[in-house]
Amino acid sequence: MTSRRPPLLLLLPAVFTVLGVLLPLGYLVLRAFGAEAEELREIVFRTRNLELAGNTLGLTAAVLACTTAIALPLAFLATRTDFRPRRLLMLLGVLPLAIPGYVGAYALIAASGFGGTIQTLTGINWPGPSGFGGALGVLTLFTFPYLFLNLHAALRAQDPALEDAARLLGRTPLQTFWAVTVPHLRPAWLSGALLTGLHVLGDFSVVSLMRYPTFSAAIYQQYTAAYDRVYSAWLALLLLLLTAFVLWLEARLMRGVSLSRVSPGGARQPGTVRLGWAVVPAWAFALTLAGAALVVPLGTVLFWLTRDFNPAALADLWVAAQTALGAAAVAAVTTTLLAFPLAYIGSRYGQHSRWARLTERAAYLGYATPPLAFALALVFFSLQVTPSLYQTLPLLVAAYTLHFVAEAVGPIRTSLTKATPRLEEAARVLGLSPLRALTRVTLPLIRPGLWVSAAFVFLSVLKELPLTLLLSPTGFDTLARNVWTYTEEAQYAAAAPYALALALSGALLTLLILRRETGEAQPQGKQVTPRRRSGSAALNAPPTPEANPTQGTPL
């Protein structure tokens, strides 16, 4: 039988993760409280802090409302209606995730205003996005896929017997949707809302470009421009408190939620809603969203690329691409290697060992910490403890690894649920050592999960900006860093090739991950036997039920 205690060899990486996340954050606290009492009082009770907190929470709430208004109808159209082609809606709900927010902000700024793309092509001086409205628009357009993927998976897996019972009791389709369907989407919405909220709380690039003050923007400004290290440390702590509040709120709202299937034996899909005349506004909604989230950003990048293209810049682009891809590849390997023991002890020993559960949860602490606050903590810690590591590639890779290890744990842990421990036990009975049983039996079974984990981390590191700006070595130019630098200086033509390379790389990786996760679409009305999905919470869904052969319900 499997031991109830994780092997020491597997616990060591977990301990490294815990120390790697907690020690820098602990030193951040010490640095924040290192000032004199009078200075601390003046810093903590600044009215500016209340303004930043209000702006940050207000923007987060507004983005959640707007992303829900986009993701819910889009997911419903893609899963419950006769809208065709459905794959178009799926791509529309996923591809904006491949475009970093700062690239989207750059494109929308470059498209508007005097001399922008819109005025050049049409003669209309379209006002440029800025302030709260600009930040809200950009963050909404490029974070709604977090909610879409969760709601899409939940709508596909929802038990149709509940809706059928509501209809038999006399409820109209609209009443059934609000009274039955929407409440059962609560876990999926909370999961996607948590990812979206953490993203908005940690974002500093979009709010900085839009000149909207939030905690993250203030941290970057205080550290790079004002050189006020104590105040920047306090801002980071206050941002961590907001993040902790969001995590507590999500856990509180999820408490007591149990949405088991009413008819476990009736694995079937809900009836398909016939749109009829409503297909016209559905197409208008989809095309408007595609134009705002994909056509305008990519069209603007191509416009500025052809307007002032400098062939000599290709050499710099190639160097930046090599640097970015190399760092992303190294981080993907190290993160996957660290994530495997965390996922293994969580899957195999989590029910019996408190330490196993705690070490796995520690991985999510690094991901939940806003990247700018985490980078600042590593800066303070490295300067005090190991100054030789400051602004070196090993420190940057370690920051990537500790921050994104939670992304890699999910797919591996899901793959391990398929690789039953009984196979390892059988190998042990046949004479294999524990290590050989692990390498010859378990690892081949979870290889797809390992590849998905590495791809997730590779994509995330490729787009990562805050950690790169604060921790990268001198002269370490990546695609993300060059987009940010040129956009800040309003050099839109110079930023265009880097933005295009970043967007195309992200789109390619996103499509490859999506293809592996979801597989090819199955014909309607046939038995479906999909693979169990591995990956982040956005792609964790129960197996697709059998298609409902009955006729659709009129809208």
Q: What tokens appear for 88 in the block? A: 């178009």
**Is the C-alpha dihedral spanning 389, 410, 19, 435 positive or negative?**
negative
- Give strand pairing partners of 268: 546
Dist CA 63 CA 328 (whole Å):
29
Nearest Cα neighbor of 462 from 491, 504, 495 is 504
Q: What tokens appear for 444 in the block? A: 């081949």
- Residue given tokens 């900085």 in the structure block: 208
381, 27 Cβ separation under 8 angstroms: yes
331, 404 Cβ separation under 8 angstroms: yes
Tell me which H or E stretch contains 523.
none
112 class by beta-carbon count within 10 Å (0-12 exposed, 13-18 middle, 19+ buried): buried
Query: Residue 113's pLDDT band (boundaries 50, 70, 90)?
Result: confident
Query: Any idea where the domains of the chain sit in the sequence?
Result: 1-31+310-475, 46-255+264-307+489-517+533-555
Query: Residue 555's pLDDT band (boundaries 50, 70, 90)?
Result: very low
* N residues, the chain: 555
Dist CA 75 CA 87 (whole Å):
12
Dist CA 15 CA 441 (whole Å):
26
* pLDDT of 521 above 50: no
The whole-number pLDDT of residue 276 equals 84
Q: SS3 string of 99-115?
A: CCHHHHHHHHHHHCCCC
> What are the helix and strand counts (H, E) for the chain?
26, 2
Kindly give, in sequence order, each residue whose CB lies less than 8 Å from that of residue 423, ignoring residues fewer than 6 positions away. 441, 442, 445
**Max avg pLDDT among 91-100, 109-118, 253-262, 533-542:** 91-100
CA 547 to chain CA mean position, Å? 30
1-31+310-475: which CATH number, 1.25.40.20, 3.30.565.10, 1.10.3720.10, 3.20.20.140?
1.10.3720.10
pLDDT in tens, 160-188: 776 767 777 777 777 777 777 777 788 88
Dist CA 360 CA 369 (whole Å):
15
Mean pLDDT of the chain: 79
Q: φ, ψ for residue 353 (rounded to 5)? A: -120, 120
Dist CA 136 CA 458 (whole Å):
27
Mean per-residue pLDDT for 81-109?
88
Least confident interval from 97-111, 170-184, 454-468: 170-184
- Which has more confidence, 423 or 63? 63
Query: Residue 523's pLDDT band (boundaries 50, 70, 90)?
Result: very low
Kindly give, in sequence order, each residue whose CB lies less than 8 Å from that of residue 409, ignoring residues fewer than 6 positions away. 339, 342, 343, 346, 360, 363, 364, 453
How, if at all, do strands 553-554 and 273-274 pair?
A: parallel
> Within 10 A of 378 (CB to CB), how many other CB atoms are there?
27
Dist CA 465 CA 509 (whole Å):
18
pTM attached to this predicted model: 0.80
Mean per-residue pLDDT for 227-246?
81
* pLDDT of 260 above 80: no
Give me the CATH topology for the region 46-255+264-307+489-517+533-555: MetI-like fold (1.10.3720)
Q: Please check whether the two domains, 1-31+310-475 and 46-255+264-307+489-517+533-555, share a CATH topology.
A: yes
Q: What tokens appear for 345 in the block? A: 């002890």
pLDDT in tens, 314-369: 788 888 999 999 999 999 999 998 888 888 877 776 565 666 666 666 677 788 78
Kindly give, in sequence order, each residue whose CB lies less than 8 Å from that of residue 74, ignoring residues fewer than 6 positions away. 89, 92, 93, 144, 148, 285, 286, 289
Q: Spell out the alpha helix ranges (H) of 173-309.
A: 173-176, 186-202, 205-209, 215-221, 229-254, 279-290, 296-307
Query: Residue 288's pLDDT band (boundaries 50, 70, 90)?
Result: very high
Dist CA 195 CA 367 (whole Å):
10
pLDDT in tens, 430-450: 766 666 666 777 777 778 788
